[in-house]
Amino acid sequence: MKPSLETLLKEVDKREEELVNLLKTLVAFQTPAPPARNTAEAQSFVAAFLEECGFTVDRWNIYPNDPNVVGTLKGSSGESYRSLIINGHIDVAAVEADEPWEEEPFQAVVKDNKIIGRGVADMKGGLAGALFGIKLLREADISLPGDLIFQSVIGEEVGEAGTLECCRKGYKADFALVVDTSDLHIQGQGGVITGWITVKSGQTYHDATRRSMIHAGGQLFAASAIEKMMKVIEGLQELERHWAVTKSYPGFPPGMNTINPAVIEGGRHAAFIADECRLWITVHYYPNETYEQVAAEVEEHIRSVAEGDVWLRENPPLFEWGGASMIEERGEIFPSFEVDTHHKAVEMLSRVHHEVLGHKAVIDVSPTVTDGGWLADAGIPTAIYGPGDLQNAHSVNEQLSLEQLKEYTKVILAFMYEWCHTKR
């Protein structure tokens, strides 16, 4: 490691208070989602921070008062050297009024060598460390040959995929690092897709007709959509069990690929036979699968179930998949991705982690999901690497070890330096 870089890493320890204050500032911007539509002020702070570091900033609204911010620092020899995206989300998990926080959630405090506040683990700690690393590089007047792109995006907590909008705008790099909660593990992830299954009758019947549709001799070919949805749910349970037996992925315990019947809506009034029933499901799938693939498997199985029922055969279930927002559309997609352990950037990040921290990096898979899938889906080699653990993400009294925050900041600083000094 170059002497100039080693000097910068020592600055992280010397300026710990400044790093912590940066994280406290980010936490103080109240950006919970839901309700969302509250990130503009925080994003203005990030944009100004990047501009002070010499970045050209692109800012645009995804939703009112919820803008994306992307800063680009053009390398001195960008055509010849590797480029890097650092990606993180500015929104945090919601805080309910009755949660027993020991301190004010949005006024972060330091206790027992930990910083406590909403979002410190998920994932303003990741944003703060990366921003502080950039600041140290710029203050040292270190010029990076490769391009560095910093993305502060909205909506990750509610499936609004600010990162997808960055990809649609054409932001690309040779590698992307999502600085979300990973406990300093280098990770890929499985995926999540939500869907709605609808069972619908072509005609509505009065409650008094029920006897004619369920008893011998009634002669009325009709059914309750709610009762028929019970068969659909049984079919989903059958498929879930089948997946648990027939599918697996290294690093995941068996049965992580689940189908959750999360919300059910049906019927219109107690005086009517239910003519429509909608089931909202959440499907978790493995890193080597796609959301299109698993959605097709669910549809194929449920259509087979419907073929075995005389009424559902004539009134087959309908399917709607995904969505761009859990708030606006009641739907979301988080694509999966695998980490290529032989990719030059992954090898470099693993080596830098070892050199800086003195122990080998863990390369595994996240049990949750991040926006990293959208970057990978856009053809950008991607990994997750950030401070904080999932036990603290979304939790009451959310906290992050100060030592891990400093460790992460050192590693991300050194990685940005080395990767952007790597020739193509």
Q: In the CATH scheme, what is the code of domain 191-321?
A: 3.30.70.360
Which pTM was predicted? 0.95
**Per-residue H/E/C for 326-347:** CCCCCECEECCECCCCCCHHHH
Residue 157 Cα to chain centre, angstroms: 7
Q: What is the pLDDT of residue 216?
A: 87
CA distance linking residue 229 with residue 237, whole number of Å: 12
**Which regions of the chain carry the CATH code 3.40.630.10?**
3-189+337-419
**pLDDT tens-place values along the chain, 424 residues long:** 666 899 999 999 999 999 999 999 999 999 999 999 999 999 999 999 999 999 999 999 999 999 999 999 999 999 999 999 999 999 999 999 999 999 999 999 999 999 999 999 999 999 999 999 999 999 999 999 999 999 999 999 999 989 999 999 999 999 999 999 999 999 999 999 999 999 999 999 999 999 999 998 899 999 999 999 999 999 999 999 999 999 999 999 999 999 999 999 999 999 999 999 999 999 999 999 999 999 999 999 999 999 999 999 999 999 999 999 999 999 999 999 999 999 999 999 999 999 999 999 999 999 999 999 999 999 999 999 999 999 999 999 999 999 999 999 999 999 999 999 999 9
CA distance linking residue 374 with residue 169, whole number of Å: 13
Q: What is the pLDDT of residue 161?
A: 84
Helical axes 402-419 vs 3-14, angle rounded to 10°: 160
**Which regions of the chain carry the CATH code 3.30.70.360?**
191-321
- What is the DSSP track for 70-109? EEEE--TTTTTB--EEEEEE--B----TT---SS-TTS-E
Architecture in CATH for domain 3-189+337-419: 3-Layer(aba) Sandwich (3.40)
Q: Which two structure tokens, joined as six digits, stand for 395?
A: 């939790």
244-303: per-residue pLDDT in tens? 999 999 999 999 999 999 999 999 999 999 999 999 999 999 999 999 999 999 999 999
CA distance linking residue 114 with residue 397, whole number of Å: 11
Question: Is-contact 84 175, C-beta < 8 A?
Answer: yes
Task: Supply the residues annotated as catalytic.
Answer: 91, 156
211-231: per-residue pLDDT in tens? 999 998 899 999 999 999 999
Omega within 30 of 0 (cis) for the link into 35? yes
